[in-house]
Amino acid sequence: MRITRAALLLTALALFLAAFLVVRFDDPAVPPAVPIIFLVGLALPSYLALVRWLGPARGIALLLLLSLLPLAVEAYAVATGIPYGRFTYSADLGYRVFGLVPWTVAFAYLPMLLGAVTLAGAAVGTSWSRLVPAGVLALLLVDLVIDPAVVHAGLWVWTDGGAYYGVPVSNFAGWVLTGAVYIALFRLVAGDRAIPGTVAAGLLLILAFWTGYLARNGLGVPALLGAALALATLPVVFGGDPSR
């Protein structure tokens, strides 16, 4: 399945407009299945691109590894506060693994990780010494956009709040630590080949939606950062996969 430029760009624009104009997370009329379908749908373009690039066996193995491990770490974090700080999920996002973390979290996080790695690879190459730190930086910038949005939307709550739109510094430190591990695992499995830009397609869609949401709700700093990251992701997605 190929990702066309027109379809991806129109989808990103539609997500931005939907978030900016009509989305409401507190509307009881929204069926519980809708956010679940939404999260999975945003992840699929990156998953398909990764499997197409690495092949079914290695691609699916990497997807499973980078879905299940973060899910386990997230459950540990909810139970103990380590490494992100103390928080709880306040929205119904599907069955909770270990009674702690919705299974859909795997689909919410992984496309952001894949997008960050792809952006880093496009900027600095895929050597260990460059990809890991650059990928961590890209992932941290993404989190500076996403976390304020989801906290404002009420999808999860930090127990003690935080200085950055209700998000504590410990969360960002946790993203740096775990992100370095996950990106190293990505590099170990994927090798040193150039990463196709379409692997960042899911990140582009996520940024489009949440930037629209942030702009609508007046969260200026993360909205501007989200717009800048989305613009930086566009040429990577549309120019980084010559087989598209």
- Whether 230 is in a domain gets the answer yes
Report the DSSP beta bridge partners of residue 87. Answer: 158
- Asked whether residue 22 carries a pLDDT value surpassing 70, the answer given is no
Q: What is the mean pLDDT of residues 124-153?
A: 96
- Whether 21 is in a domain gets the answer no
- Whether 3 is in a domain gets the answer no
Q: Which domain range does residue 56 map to?
A: 30-239
Higher pLDDT, 3 or 87: 87
Are the beta carbons of 47 and 63 closer than 8 angstroms? yes
- Asked whether residue 18 carries a pLDDT value surpassing 80, the answer given is no
Higher pLDDT, 161 or 111: 111
Number of domains in the chain: 1
Half-sphere exposure (Cβ direction) of 143: Cα atoms closer than 13 Å: 23
- Whether 101 is in a domain gets the answer yes
Q: What is the CA radius of gyration of the chain?
A: 17
What integer pLDDT is reported at residue 15 of this predicted model? 74
What integer pLDDT is reported at residue 80 of this predicted model? 95
- Whether 7 is in a domain gets the answer no
- Whether 146 is in a domain gets the answer yes
- What average pLDDT does the chain have? 88
For residues 48 and 2, give the distance between their C-alpha atoms in angstroms, rounded to a whole number: 8
Q: How confident is the model at residue 3 (pLDDT cuts 50, 70, 90)?
A: low
Q: How confident is the model at residue 244 (pLDDT cuts 50, 70, 90)?
A: very low
- Whether 111 is in a domain gets the answer yes
Q: What is the mean pLDDT of residues 147-164?
A: 90
Instruction: Specify the range with the lowest mean pLDDT, choosing from 7-21, 56-70, 73-87, 113-127.
Output: 7-21
**Backbone torsions φ then ψ of 144, nearest 5 degrees:** -65, -20
Higher pLDDT, 5 or 190: 190
- Whether 217 is in a domain gets the answer yes
What integer pLDDT is reported at residue 240 of this predicted model? 47
Share of the chain above pLDDT 90, in %: 65
